[in-house]
Amino acid sequence: MSKIKIRQLNDDDVSGYRYIRLEMLKNHPEAYADSYNNTRKQNDDFFLYRINNGAIFAAFDNNEIIATTGFFMQPHDNAKHKAMIWGLYVKPEYRGQGLSYDLLVEAIKNLPDTAKLVQLCVVEGNEAAQSTYEKAGFKIWGIEERAICVDGRYYDEKHMVKFLGR
Ligand SMILES: CC(C)(COP(=O)(O)OP(=O)(O)OC[C@H]1O[C@@H](n2cnc3c(N)ncnc32)[C@H](O)[C@@H]1OP(=O)(O)O)[C@@H](O)C(=O)NCCC(=O)NCCS
């Protein structure tokens, strides 16, 4: 019987991470800012940068990555107190069991002490994602019209924040 485990990705996970990242971008282009067409051209260095710029957490079923999310810290001096959550995805066959919430909690738990608040964006109408973020304590602070453009079609995004109380 398989058991799902969550852990942070490291350099050895690069090919598995590449695979699931391309899957999410191909199947849900409106949910992410980066595109499948750009990402599929990238080499390992691109994915290693993502793995090491902040952190990415994944759920594994045996050795297969079945869900991810990650965070990075804003780089500029006066914005270094802000973390950004990105890349939330659960493979279709593993949805409906709260895996995205577990990953989100794991990412927030591992934020550095320098993080005082964490932000994210969710496309309008993505109820499963928004509900997960709300359950984890995120609140909507604004709506960005035409935030995402896929094949000429625009999508609005809700911006959400969670203050970490420190
Ligand atoms: C968003 C996503 C990660 C959620 O996966 P998941 O962890 O399996 O989520 P669940 O199916 O357990 O749903 C999460 C919650 O949303 C609720 N939900 C699901 N669909 C819903 C809908 N249409 N309306 C309202 N609530 C909904 C569920 O009931 C659940 O609530 P609960 O925890 O109180 O039971 C997954 O659907 C996915 O990968 N989607 C495609 C990529 C994507 O949109 N990523 C998000 C980028 S911001």
Please, what is the average pLDDT of the chain?
97
Instruction: Say what the pLDDT of residue 137 is.
Output: 98
Rounded distance from Cα 50 to ligand 1 centre (Å)? 24
State residue 92's pLDDT score.
Answer: 98
Closest residue (by CA) to atom 7 of ligand 1? 100
CA of 90 from ligand 1 middle (Å) equals: 9
Q: Inform me whether the pLDDT recorded for 5 exceeds 90.
A: yes
- Could you tell me which residues come within 8 angstroms of residue 54 by beta carbon, excluding any fewer than 6 positions away? 70, 71, 72, 73, 83
Residues in the chain: 166
Q: Which atom of ligand 1 is nearest to the CA of 94?
A: 8
Q: Looking at this protein, which amino acid is placed at residue 4?
A: I
Percent of the chain's residues with pLDDT above 90: 98
Identify the structural domains of the chain with CATH numbers, from first to last: 4-163 (3.40.630.30)
Supply the pLDDT for residue 1.
Answer: 52
In the reported structure, the alpha carbon of residue 131 is separated from the centroid of ligand 1 by a whole-number distance in angstroms of 7
Quick one: which atom of ligand 1 is closest to the CA of 121?
Answer: 48
Residue 34, class by beta-carbon neighbours within 10 Å (0-12 exposed, 13-18 middle, 19+ buried)? middle
Q: Which long-range contacts (CB under 8 A, 24 or more apart) does 97-101 make?
A: 98/132, 99/4, 99/59, 99/66, 99/67, 100/67, 100/69, 100/128, 100/129, 100/132, 101/132, 101/135, 101/136
pLDDT digits 0-9 by tens, 53-98: 999 999 999 999 999 999 999 999 999 999 999 999 999 999 999 9
pLDDT digits (tens, 9 = 90+) for 94-129: 999 999 999 999 999 999 999 999 999 999 999 999
Q: Above 80 in pLDDT, residue 136?
A: yes
